[in-house]
Structure 1
Amino acid sequence: MAKNKSKKGNKGDKKSKTPKIERNWEELGLMMGLEIHQQLNTKHKLFCPCSTELTDDEFDDGIIRNLRPTQSELGQIDRAALQESLRDMTFKYESFNDHTCLVETDDEPPHALNREALDICITIASLLNMKMVDEFHTMRKQVIDGSNTGGFQRTGLAATDGYLDTPYGRVAIESLGLEEDAARRIDSDDEFTEFRLDRLGIPLAEITTDPSMHHPEQIKEVAYMIGQVLRSTNVKRGIGTIRQDVNISITRGARVEIKGVQDLDLMPEIVEREVQRQLALADIKDELIKRNASVEDTIYDLDEVFKDTSSKILSSAACIKGIILRGFDGLIGKEIQPGRRFGTELSSYAKKMGVSGLFHTDELPAYGIQEDEVNAMKEFLKIGPQDAIIIVAHDEDVAVNALNEVIRRANMAFDGVVEETRKALDDGNTEYMRPLPTANRMY
């Protein structure tokens, strides 16, 4: 069953999993940039007088919200926000008398900007050779994953056009932003995602470099040097107070944002594995075109095929659905990162709709599904020797939505690498989160 097995990698084995491959990074067209988010050590939050200290106390009040995307100033809906809305999630929020107020719950307009936070940004800008803007304007960045109660993050541009001299050469610092940190995610299930509001609104400096880094070790060095600059100012310390996002692309691939890189020593490994993933997806694209492959949009009912199955997963499900991917045989099981296959990519999209994973014919028979059942399914669907089948077992609505996502992602395979936001995993691999945001998220 195609699930994401890489989440629980431990730090002791992360460097031993991938044999080092000597690559010509210049020939590959590797381009990388950094986004560093650092909490500022202010007494109050960015737009209200609440404390910036986190708490583990019992919450005082709770609220429930549903969030929906809205049109930007350009009159369009951001693709990342739209995709998040399809999950139709309900969000619960925990608030505290001493750490939150009506600003965090979006029931009161924001107060005046925290001048202490702005002063810290001025110091950071000076250390990074940046030019401060003449006027600070607060904007809204649409975020409907539940981490902001109002469906947006308040952010503003503080400085531009800086640079940092490194052993690999000068790196341009494109911008310094001052924004609100997001709420803390503390629990999630198929129906609700729960957040704690004590972190929402803590001042956050966002430093963005240009994509001028071309070697995996360089991005680690730049992240370290920027971190040293930040630590010389009044910023918070400790786990979770600084977060690094890495933007990566190669000539045969596309730009991908990898969020939540906590361990600087893991950065080069993450870069190498992302390059490996993009090259593998580009090869899959070439093979699909060579095979004249196609994706059928019909979703088939497979209950009759598996009515006597001994598979506990299938027998306990409300329904069993399947789709046909023409010409995909052998490619769904192709490894794209250590321990992850193209089927894992498809599974990541399906999981956003509420399933725990999927089955595909490259890995069957397995998981209690017998060879005669696989043959019966192939005969029932009348597939050819180069075709593959994807199976999902769940409630009907969830199964259909999940397979529609698989169909959408399988069609993207003909474009090679997809522009995505991905989550960094502990072993150096990455996992799909959502589409890469666009300018339409600003309003």
Structure 2
Amino acid sequence: MKMDYKKLGLKCGIEIHQQLEGKKLFCNCPTKLRDDQHNFEIRRKLRAVAGEHGDIDVAAQQEQLRDKTFIYQGYDDTTCLVETDSEPPHQINEEALYTSLQFCKLVNADISPVVQVMRKTVVDGSNTSGFQRTALIARGGYINTSEGKVGIVNISLEEDACKIISEDIKEKVYCLDKLGIPLIEIGTAPDIKSPEQCLETSKRLGMLLRSLSGVKRGLGTIRQDVNVSIAGGTRIEFKGVQELRMIPTIVELEVKRQIELLKIKEELRNLRLNGLNIVDLSVLLNDCDSKVIKKTIEKNGKILGIKLHGFNGLIGRELQPNYRLGTEFAGRAKIKAGVGGIFHSDELPNYGIEEKEIKRIRKKLNCTPDDAFVLVADNENKAKIALTAVHERAKELFLGIPKEVRKDQVDGTSRYMRPMPGAARMYPETDVPLIFPDTKEIKLPEVLEEKIERYQKDFSLSVDLANFVAKSDKVKLFEELVEKYPKIKAAFIAETLTSTTLDIKRKYELDPGKLTEDNFRELFLYLSQDKIHKDIILDVLIDMIKGIFDIKKYESLSTEELHKTIKKIVEENKDAPFGALMGICMKKLAGKASGKIISENIKKILREGHK
């Protein structure tokens, strides 16, 4: 069913986070991510502190209650004391600041004459200091879309968080390689009025960012947070949306979720939720066939339950495809208490819990036919926390839709992550002096759309190839090589830098990321000097990746030497058919000449022999 988004009062906004190239934001460490063995670990616990107004942020409080130990992995050669929070931050990275100011100019934003670095409280362990440094660079600005203008509320420069390695109930392991990578954060106004415009806005902002030479490219270097609300609802933030194509689906399904939650609010209008009363049902379910319950009892755990007055039939209500109110309850329980899940009356009898057990539970909890119940089977303390979280979520249904941060799933549905952070988590960074941006010398870059058109016009690249190379991290190298070697076709250079490297990854399962810019410079130098043939560049690149490239192996023979060598092979194998001769020559002359030239020489020699 197509929804009338205007009538529903849909409002969307986007926050884009784009990583920048170069050094880290507040130290001189490199920004390259690593997967080799780390050299050291640091173990810490973090606690929420009051912001400048004396308030503690609710999201930070929730994280502290989970009482996790955070482990940070680092490297002796690429991790410094700033990243371990053992030394104050250095001066802000001037290159990152310049790139941010370039973007501000692209969207006509009002750049702040004075920039104050702030601390944003973060207690999920993703920053060793317990806060993220962020600086508001500009306000205002806009971009144009097919459905109207979308305003830019703020543009900030901030440091990225640690890379998560693993997590369990007690510990969370991070790597420090990503911590401190500069990020541009762009927040739009809630001017987006449809799922399609939301996608278009994200693409447009991404295109403008990729027009800047100082941004990183590739998977994971840019991410979107999407904010969605409808009339009567509230703002919901989707954190770290990676798949652009899924944005319309995410928005559409969130609208559906909010519509259904508002319907439930209306149905509950004349009811009052009973107070929280957690009851131990372990004895009642001692002989139950449920595997989960049996396992819990064997581990000396408890089966606890609560009644929800007037909720019969509501917990099984579908809010999104294959996502029910019960899923919403379970999400809260999992995040707050770390339990595996919940049982609720709308899905029973099932999972080994039969009708006889249901009757016992209802009687024990004093349930009327209109009431529902929720069970949790786990460690007693965790089960109590989980049921308290479920009861809190049930209470929120009477008020409407709570502000929260959610994580999108592969099918476009979403799961609860944490409460929406408040302003209480921001306070000034006293270790970094005020910044006075110099906007006079900022040069605007060529916008990506214009670059793609120029590549098609000046270099005769196809639309797809022009797009591919313009958006790749080899764009600077491409322009350098095209200018330096005008006799080599630009399309060939572009294909070598992009699609050829992808072929190496796909066909040979080698990492083309090991190829440096100097490797490509060396390759095209030899090509321009006719020392190697175009037909064998794949072999050359493979050897370069393996670290075994030697020009002597590939250096071309002169025309005379080549003909002489092939003629000798043909004479030594007089009765061999053409295919066999071709195989012998290719083996003997591997890397010395292209297959095409070898084939032409064999045919010529065979013709001469028949005269």
TM-score (norm 2): 0.68
Cα displacement string for residues 286-309 of structure 1 (whole angstroms, at most 9, x for unaligned residues): 11124x141331110001110111
1:325 aligns with 2:308: yes
Q: Which residue identity is paired with 2:380?
A: E
5+ residue gaps, structure 1 = 1-20
User: Relative to total residues, which structure has the larger strand share, 1 or 2?
Assistant: 1
1:406 aligns with 2:385: no
1:337 aligns with 2:320: yes
Aligned structure 1 segments of 4 or more residues deviating by more than 6 angstroms: none
In 2, distance between residues paired with 1:96 and 1:368?
Answer: 50
How many angstroms does 1:125 deviate by?
A: 0.8
Of the two, which has the highest radius of gyration? 2
In 2, distance between residues paired with 1:259 and 1:334?
Answer: 25
1:419 aligns with 2:403: yes
Aligned ranges 1:228-243 → 2 under 5 Å: 228-233=207-212, 234-243=214-223
Equivalent position of 2:340 in the other structure:
356
How many angstroms does 1:128 deviate by?
A: 1.1
In 1, distance between residues paired with 2:366 and 2:144?
Answer: 62
In 2, distance between residues paired with 1:256 and 1:247?
Answer: 5
In 2, distance between residues paired with 1:395 and 1:170?
Answer: 53
1:437 aligns with 2:406: no
Q: Which residue of the other structure, out of 50, 63, 77, is the alignment partner of 1:84?
A: 63
2:13 counterpart SS class = strand
Equivalent position of 2:74 in the other structure:
95
Aligned ranges 1:65-214 → 2 under 5 Å: 65-214=44-193
2:187 counterpart SS class = strand
How many angstroms does 1:265 deviate by?
A: 1.3
Equivalent position of 2:360 in the other structure:
376
In 2, distance between residues paired with 1:343 and 1:441?
Answer: 31
Equivalent position of 1:26 in the other structure:
6
Q: Which residue identity is paired with 1:270?
A: I
Equivalent position of 2:380 in the other structure:
396
Q: Which residue identity is paired with 1:332?
A: I
With a CA cutoff of 8 Å and minimum separation of 6, indicate the structure with the bigger relative contact order.
1
Q: Which residue of the other structure, out of 8, 17, 20, is the alignment partner of 1:40?
A: 20
- Alpha-carbon contact 1:190-1:354 (below 8 Å) kept: yes
In 1, distance between residues paired with 2:226 and 2:27?
Answer: 31
Cα displacement string for residues 228-279 of structure 1 (whole angstroms, at most 9, x for unaligned residues): 0000102111111001001111012111111111111111111110000001
Aligned residue-pair number:
421
In 2, distance between residues paired with 1:102 and 1:403?
Answer: 43
User: Relative to total residues, which structure has the larger helix share, 1 or 2?
Assistant: 2
- Alpha-carbon contact 1:36-1:206 (below 8 Å) kept: yes
2:88 counterpart SS class = coil
How many angstroms does 1:369 deviate by?
A: 1.1
Equivalent position of 1:294 in the other structure:
273
Cα displacement string for residues 36-63 of structure 1 (whole angstroms, at most 9, x for unaligned residues): 0000012x10001111000001111101
Residue identity over aligned pairs, in percent, reads 49
1:316 counterpart SS class = helix
- Alpha-carbon contact 1:295-1:407 (below 8 Å) kept: no
Equivalent position of 1:367 in the other structure:
351
2:363 counterpart SS class = helix
How many angstroms does 1:403 deviate by?
A: 1.0
In 1, distance between residues paired with 2:268 and 2:295?
Answer: 35
TM-score (norm 1): 0.94
Cα displacement string for residues 349-407 of structure 1 (whole angstroms, at most 9, x for unaligned residues): 10011101000000011111111111111122221001011100111111111111111
5+ residue gaps, structure 2 = 428-611
Cα displacement string for residues 60-96 of structure 1 (whole angstroms, at most 9, x for unaligned residues): 1101111111111111111111122121111111111
In 1, distance between residues paired with 2:264 and 2:8?
Answer: 17
In 2, distance between residues paired with 1:405 and 1:383?
Answer: 20
- Alpha-carbon contact 1:51-1:98 (below 8 Å) kept: no
In 2, distance between residues paired with 1:296 and 1:175?
Answer: 43
